[in-house]
């Protein structure tokens, strides 16, 4: 079977049988690393070829590291506004109390406008860790020149009339596009490999006594989540069709051990709307910076769906991770109790709940709620 025929099987219901790519992620100790690559089989010849990752200079990765316990080359990334100050104080206080006071990872705060002195002053006293505050370049934030604003404005108006959440918001669309394709390219973030995304007003229910960054690094994991659920179909009506088009053009990008079964109930003919809730992510930015993902993002971006519809970074990240990574590179951080209103993850394992001194009510955990996709994830792996 050719790779193109194999791809058609993905999209039309033919089961997987043959190897496409094998991913190798190098995670070396003491913060030395090599850019990883995807080894795959070409769509016509079956000969192996390498898709190299776009990477940053490895020599720039060590300057922020300090002596002491082993740490990964990682940071917290927080996208917020000056008006989010109280919510961010709460979130940073939570992550410091439950985890970072014992690990000392740095923070990067990003906004499209400069942070005020009050914001920086009140945040900086919460933690002894390094904190950097950056402005997002306009080309990373605002809609690109090829977007037909008249068409985009009409779409926003209609979605607002249809009471679709954030349907009328241009800034929300800018944020989704930024989180999909640009945050990992910001100058302040370039020196880091791993990140933990934190948002205003979140809560961490349990003590985190082991290092999730090192867990990813030492176990060849790429993407970690705590909550998974269904997307609003009305916000991504043409997204899956666009993904199918990209897959037809690049069948060699589809990993042979992928998690397609998580995001599709019929071997790729339709998208079941399941996605990892990306307001919490602990992940390897080498994946987002890779030629595979950047080709995918640029293809989506040129279609304009971030503005003509309301494509979110959560389904974009989730689809990419599910198709381009091996299943075992995606990890459910069950031990990290987490809440972003209105949903909460609380470890259901009593020993884990007790060991983490969790404050959450297990009966209110979202894990197996009817709107949760966790059971689908468990069946896919």
Active-site positions?
281
Alpha carbon distance 240, 187 (integer Å): 31
HEC string of 25-69 equals CCCCHHHCCCCCEEEEECCCCCCEEEEEECCCCHHHCCCCCCCCC
Look at residue 223 and give its three-state secondary structure: strand
Residue 300, CA distances (Å) to 78, 254, 307, 333 in order: 24, 16, 11, 29
In degrees to the nearest 10, what's the CA dihedral of 333, 189, 68, 91?
-50
Q: Which of 100, 24, 297, 91 is nearest to 183 (CA)?
A: 297
Angle at CA of residue 148, ends 146 and 152, nearest 5°:
125
Query: Within 10 Å of residue 185's Cβ, how many Cβ atoms?
Result: 17
Whether 112 contacts 141, CB under 8 Å? yes
Alpha carbon distance 348, 368 (integer Å): 10
Pairing type for strands 74-79 and 330-332 reads unpaired
Cβ-Cβ contacts under 8 Å for 139 (sequence gap 6 or more): none
Token readout for 231 is 């997307």
Report the run of H or E that residue 241 belongs to, with start and end. helix 239-249
Cβ-Cβ contacts under 8 Å for 128 (sequence gap 6 or more): 104
Bridge partners for 51 per DSSP: 38
Residue 120, CA distances (Å) to 27, 66, 100, 111, 125 in order: 33, 23, 19, 12, 9
């Amino acid at each position: 079977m050719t790779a193109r025929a194999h791809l058609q099987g993905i999209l039309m219901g033919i089961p997987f049988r043959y190897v496409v790519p094998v991913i190798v992620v190098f995670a070396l100790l003491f913060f030395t690393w090599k850019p990883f690559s995807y080894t795959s089989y070409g769509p016509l010849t079956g000969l192996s070829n390498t898709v190299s990752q776009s990477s940053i200079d490895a020599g720039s990765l060590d300057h922020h590291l300090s002596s002491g316990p082993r740490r990964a080359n990682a940071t917290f990334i927080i996208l917020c506004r000056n008006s989010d100050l109280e919510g961010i104080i709460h979130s940073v206080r939570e992550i410091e109390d439950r985890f970072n006071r014992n690990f000392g990872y740095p923070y990067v705060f990003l906004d499209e406008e400069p942070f005020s002195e009050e914001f920086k002053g009140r945040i900086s006293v919460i933690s002894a860790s390094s904190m950097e505050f950056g402005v997002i370049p306009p080309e990373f934030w605002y809609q690109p020149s090829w977007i037909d604003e008249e068409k985009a404005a009409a779409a926003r108006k209609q979605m607002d009339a249809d009471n679709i959440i954030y349907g009328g918001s241009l800034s929300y669309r800018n944020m989704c596009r930024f989180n999909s394709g640009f945050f990992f390219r910001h100058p302040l973030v370039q020196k880091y490999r791993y990140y933990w995304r934190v948002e205003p007003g979140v809560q961490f229910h349990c003590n985190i006594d082991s290092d999730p960054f090192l867990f990813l690094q030492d176990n060849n994991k790429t993407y970690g989540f705590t909550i998974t659920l269904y997307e609003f179909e009305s916000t991504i009506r043409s997204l899956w069709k666009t993904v199918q088009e990209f897959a037809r053009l690049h069948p060699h990008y589809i990993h042979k051990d992928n998690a397609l079964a998580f995001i599709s109930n019929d071997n790729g003919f339709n998208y079941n709307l399941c996605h990892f809730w990306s307001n919490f992510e602990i992940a390897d930015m080498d994946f987002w910076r890779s030629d595979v993902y950047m080709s995918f993002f640029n293809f989506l971006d040129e279609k304009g769906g971030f503005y003509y519809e309301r494509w979110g970074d959560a389904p974009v990240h989730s689809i990419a991770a599910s198709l381009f990574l091996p299943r075992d590179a995606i990890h459910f951080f069950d031990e990290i109790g987490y809440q972003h209103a209105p949903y909460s993850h609380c470890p259901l394992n009593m020993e884990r709940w007790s060991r983490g001194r969790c404050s959450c009510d297990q009966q209110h955990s979202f894990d197996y709620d009817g709107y949760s996709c966790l059971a689908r994830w468990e069946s896919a792996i």
